[in-house]
Structure 1
Amino acid sequence: MSASLLVRGYEVVIGFETHAQLSTRSKIFSGASTQFGAEPNTQACAVDLALPGSLPVINRGAVERAIRFGVAVGATIAPMSIFARKNYFYPDLPKGYQISQYEIPVVQGGRMSFFVDAQPMAINLTRAHLEEDAGKSLHEDFHGMSGIDLNRAGTPLLEIVTEPELRSSRQAVEYAKALHTLVVWLGICDGNMQEGSFRCDANVSVRRPGEPFGTRREIKNLNSFRFLQQAIDFEVNWQIDQIEDGYEIQQATVLFDPDTGETRMMRTKEDAHDYRYFPDPDLPPLVIASAWVDEVKSAMPELPGALAARFQSEQGLPAYDAAMMTASRATAEYYQAAAAACGQPKLVANWVMGEISKRLNAEGGDIARAPVGPATLAVMIGRIQDGTISNNAARQVFEALWCGEGSDVDSIIESRGLRQMNDSGALEAILDEVMAANAKSVEDFRAGKEKAFGALVGQAMKATKGKANPAQVNELLRRKLVGA
């Protein structure tokens, strides 16, 4: 355990439960629509409400998506799994129980890899099981009362559970981002966090290094990566304060309030036995033949990890760069198109991780709709490589392209006078003038003061208004200084 990960002398222990809403058109046990945004209570049928005589039937598409996820993380796909009733009372749970899986989930084990500060990490998964979602309680615009919308009741979820192996909020965020990338990449979830398609629950506890695990509190329904980090950081410090003040942590379910930046207890946390799980008598065991698993495997897309490995072996990208270029399918497609067009994979990766990511993050944009497309970026990188423009000028070209002040790289270069000076004769004449005007720096350099060389280069670039090729300036100037 690195001392840098300790918070006020305590080790943080985090386990994750993520609910990924599966991308089926109908619900997990009924034919009702899963479309988001419909009028309240217009997409809940008799099966979703458990009306007398109605019987659930498993959605094959939901099972297929669970298999796809299990294959992607190297998990065991259970040849037979069981659906159980999880019994609890809540106003938006119309049946009085939730159909879930308990003792025998469909996906068992598995492993997820991700990067934290450019360092590779991995976490073991405990399980991923299928279950139905509950409805939604609405507490606004009801004149002091609450409304219940049951459209979401019965929507298929894959709950993905990790081992308690994360040790910081930063690790938790990077894991959640990697998982989000994977489920969207696989096409099993649209990943829309604002609509609740990808919701994270963080089980957080603290302990002194080497001691047994502390009592955990579960932060529910975190629907943004920023809130996830803020919630965990607050909860960690709150728990430490409680322990330092002599109080015991009580197992509880808590919510994060983004307005205050604080967590608050919703209810004391139940244990598994409180839910009185038992096999659902209306659903037979879920049997998955090995042939079905093989069929799913054969139709799988190339996974982010495999594609990143190929970028490393075939294009020479560092491991971190390759991981960033596979952060989403759209990013991978953009990178591949630009790299193929200009033949400079590392430079493309640098621009994607640098200027493009910075602007997309600031504007909340999507790289698939970036103002500077991959073909345009490739042309611009080509102009850097052939000496037409400097790196500094390239940033000015990029700015103009991004802001819609032009769409043609060469036109922007010419109209703004950004073409790099490559005439060695003209440049030598300028360097002679710079050396004559800065005799003291010339003398200092010849006396062994290397710093003076940088000052002369700066004067040369100033004299050419930044248009000289820096590499050419360095070469010619050093030759003149040493050979004179």
Structure 2
Amino acid sequence: MSTQAATEETAVVIGLEVHVQLETDTKVFCGCSTEPDDEEEPNTRTCPTCLGLPGALPVLNEAAVEAAVKIGKALDSEIPETTTFHRKNYYYPDLPKNFQLTQYDAPICAGGELAVAVDGDRRTIGITRAHLEEDPGSIQHAGGSIESATHTLINYNRAGTPLMEVVTEPDFRSPAETRAFLAKLEEVLEYLGVFDATRDGSLRVDANVSLVPASEMAEDGSVPEDVLADADRAEVKNISSHRGAEKALAYEISRQRNVLRRGREIEQETRHWDEGRGVTVSMRSKEAEKDYRYFREADLPALEVSDWKEEISIPELPDARRERFGEEYGLDDEAASKLTSTKAVADFFEDVASEFDPELAATWVADNLLGELNYRELAITDVDGRLDEFKRLIELVAAEELTVKNAEEVVLRGMLDEGDDPEAIIDREGLGKAEGDEVADAVAAVVDENPEAVADYRDGDEGAINFLVGQVMQATGGSADPGQVNGLLREELDD
């Protein structure tokens, strides 16, 4: 954008390149493990192939190809007859062979789309392509940020991990939209079973940001190709989270607008997102496609994948499952969204709903269990070996052998904090459901001991009944059913 446009109202145009680590046992072109060990030494999970030593030949990982096809099907992409690999040549210290094995003009997934909801509005983001490639190693800037580090350390253990790069159309108009898209993409990938969000560096984002004259945008929000071609864009790298993407892009948009206000031009460059300082810093001028000198990888033949699209199945995806939960179980949108937040949560809910009332199952899984897990910063996968214990707790509530209050406030929390099973906590705390005679005796005693509250109730003060119910619950150690207590008190006091 020229300096003449400095006073014009501008619109934001953002496109993303999302690098997703695929969940495979071994690297994409060799047999080295992809499973990191917390105690592993740097540069030990390597071999001649992923280190690029002379004479080492790549062998393509079939599981990585299957994962790529699944992603293509989920994004409604075209899976071509054949796909090929190329060498992308540039010097980075974390690529020891000085080129990256990737895909160029024949990606494994072409086109596609992904629908996202932003502030209640549903938008469809176009997918340009998605292709397989190898991950570089990891760089650690010692003694400070990329600008102030005293030296840099390189670990090649990650080099060669299979990546899927998902390239979007420039369809985003705000940082909030990019955050929503990344969350939705990660949700879909988790359902496919090809991605683990807990892995360090499992999702990394490069974002291309341009400002264009708002007057030149089409009525539907699209930007003509000639306007995009004239816009100078900055690429922001080193984004590693949904929240980080929103913050980095908000900063970069503000920076570019300030540049224009000062009467200067936007430089076409690559910038680094310094998360610690919350700023982007210039790294280098933006590379053009010709700078990478792509050429075919002679050691990998063309790969025929078109038949795999029919052979490889994918599970029911989040949107479809969310819609079905509303229709089949009568759930509102909020509950259905919570219960399809991950495939593990959705699977557990359906397991519980197959044995108990769906409304009870939804309350216990979406509100009680997920609420307590979120409070402890845990996911349902952190307790997947104990899901039968949680089902047993729901069974005790459904059978009215345990009050909801005690189940929620004592047993569930004890199960998560202490690791005990529900029966052990119930026995230790004496939380068995109070018998009828015990409750009736407690009601009679509370009525005798609280004549003022009894008089208030009989004078029309409905609040007095709540006080009396509380006294009975306290007398029974919370083991009585509050509804039953309320009914018994009214029978006693209305005589």
Instruction: State the TM bucket, normalised to the shorter chain.
Output: 0.7 to 0.9
SS at match of 1:377: helix
Shift of residue 107, structure 1, vs aligned partner: 0.3
Residue-by-residue CA offset, 1:274-295 (whole Å, 9 max, x unaligned): 33434445544433242x3222
Q: Counterparts of 1:265-276 in structure 2 under 5 Å? A: 265-276=282-293
Shift of residue 129, structure 1, vs aligned partner: 0.8
Say whether 1:252 aligns with 2:269.
yes
Residue-by-residue CA offset, 1:365-424 (whole Å, 9 max, x unaligned): 331333994334344444545556554443322223322285325853883568579768
Aligned-residue CA RMSD (Å): 4.2
Distance 1:316 1:344 in 2: 11
Distance 1:45 1:286 in 2: 23
SS at match of 1:464: helix
- 1:329 aligned to 322, 326, 343, which one? 343
Residue-by-residue CA offset, 1:328-347 (whole Å, 9 max, x unaligned): 33323332333334x13333
Cross-structure match for 1:294: 310
Q: Counterparts of 1:363-378 in structure 2 under 5 Å? A: 363-370=376-383, 373-378=386-391
Query: Conserved in 1, the CA contact under 8 Å of 2:469 and 2:486?
Result: no
Q: Counterparts of 1:423-462 in structure 2 under 5 Å? A: 437=453, 453=462, 455-462=463-470
Say whether 1:158 aligns with 2:164.
yes
Residue-by-residue CA offset, 1:235-272 (whole Å, 9 max, x unaligned): 34434444444444333333333322333222232233
Distance 1:216 1:470 in 2: 64
Residue-by-residue CA offset, 1:129-176 (whole Å, 9 max, x unaligned): 112223344443899444444444443321012223344444433432
Q: Counterparts of 1:49-88 in structure 2 under 5 Å? A: 49=52, 51=54, 56-88=58-90
Query: Conserved in 2, the CA contact under 8 Å of 1:371 and 1:404?
Result: no
Distance 1:47 1:376 in 2: 44
Shift of residue 185, structure 1, vs aligned partner: 3.5
Q: Give me the TM-score of the superposition, normalised by structure 1.
A: 0.76
Q: Give me the TM-score of the superposition, normalised by structure 2.
A: 0.75
Q: Counterparts of 1:16-415 in structure 2 under 5 Å? A: 16-31=16-31, 33-36=33-36, 37=40, 39-40=42-43, 43-45=46-48, 49=52, 51=54, 56-114=58-116, 122-140=124-142, 144-194=150-200, 196-205=201-210, 211-212=216-217, 215-280=232-297, 283-290=300-307, 292-297=308-313, 300-341=314-355, 343-370=356-383, 373-385=386-398, 391-397=404-410, 398-404=412-418, 406-409=420-423, 412=426, 415=429
Q: Quick one: which amino acid aligns to residue 261 of structure 1? A: G
Distance 2:116 2:435 in 1: 44
Shift of residue 43, structure 1, vs aligned partner: 1.5
SS at match of 1:265: strand
Query: Conserved in 1, the CA contact under 8 Å of 2:77 and 2:110?
Result: yes
Q: Quick one: which amino acid aligns to residue 110 of structure 1? A: G
Q: Quick one: which amino acid aligns to residue 458 of structure 1? A: N
The alignment-based identity, stated in percent, is 34
Cross-structure match for 2:472: 464
Distance 2:453 2:379 in 1: 51
Cα 1:99/1:375, change in 2 over 3 Å:
closer
Shift of residue 471, structure 1, vs aligned partner: 4.8
Distance 1:428 1:246 in 2: 84
Query: Conserved in 2, the CA contact under 8 Å of 1:93 and 1:134?
Result: yes
Q: Count the aligned residue pairs.
A: 461
Where relative contact order (Cα < 8 A, 6+ residues apart) is larger, the structure is 2
